[in-house]
């Protein structure tokens, strides 16, 4: 994947500062694409996969709190903000998420922050049971 433009990296870092972990937060993932002049950006906390023990292979989502007020203040103009409570159908890999559409440094952005990482992404962290340690994968 091509490196994101600098302004998008800055936005991602600023959005991350609105995410407050309840547990030890694993790596954050970001998917972005430019579609018809709109930057579609999805920022998410990765899942943790258990390695070893009776729950080997299970994945757990990350628990966090999102400061929506500070998130909205990052935008120069907010054109819309919504909360989707659950997946619309089987093809909806975002499921529950906060969505903000607006302008950031003259760029039209549609930002989405799902409650859990989309299933299409590998876990960003392993919990290695027998060694009692975390390993950041990405």
pLDDT tens per residue, range 73-125: 999 999 999 999 999 999 999 999 999 999 999 999 999 999 999 989 999 99
Is the model's pLDDT at 36 over the cut of 90?
A: yes
Q: Which domain holds residue 98?
A: 6-106+123-136
Judge whether 113 lies within some domain: no
Compute CA distances 33 → 16, 39, 109, 121, 130, whole Å. 18, 6, 10, 16, 40
Judge whether 114 lies within some domain: no
Look up residue 46 and give its two tokens: 């990765």
Judge whether 29 lies within some domain: yes
pLDDT of residue 1: 61
| Structural domain total, the chain | 1
* Segment holding 42, helix H or strand E: strand 38-45
pTM here is 0.91
Judge whether 16 lies within some domain: yes
Judge whether 112 lies within some domain: no
Judge whether 48 lies within some domain: yes
């Amino acid at each position: 994947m091509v490196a994101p433009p600098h302004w998008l990296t800055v936005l991602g870092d600023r959005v991350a500062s609105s995410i407050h972990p309840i547990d030890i937060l694993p790596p954050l993932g970001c998917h972005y694409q430019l579609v018809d002049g709109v930057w579609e950006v999805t920022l998410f906390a990765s899942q943790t996969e258990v390695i070893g023990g009776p729950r080997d292979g299970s994945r757990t989502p990350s628990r966090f709190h999102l400061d929506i007020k500070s998130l909205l203040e990052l935008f120069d103009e907010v054109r819309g903000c919504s909360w989707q409570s659950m997946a619309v159908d089987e093809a909806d890999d975002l499921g529950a998420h906060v969505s903000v559409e607006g302008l950031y440094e003259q760029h039209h952005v549609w930002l989405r922050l799902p409650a859990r990482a989309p299933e299409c992404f590998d876990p960003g962290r392993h919990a290695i049971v027998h060694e009692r340690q975390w390993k950041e994968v990405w």
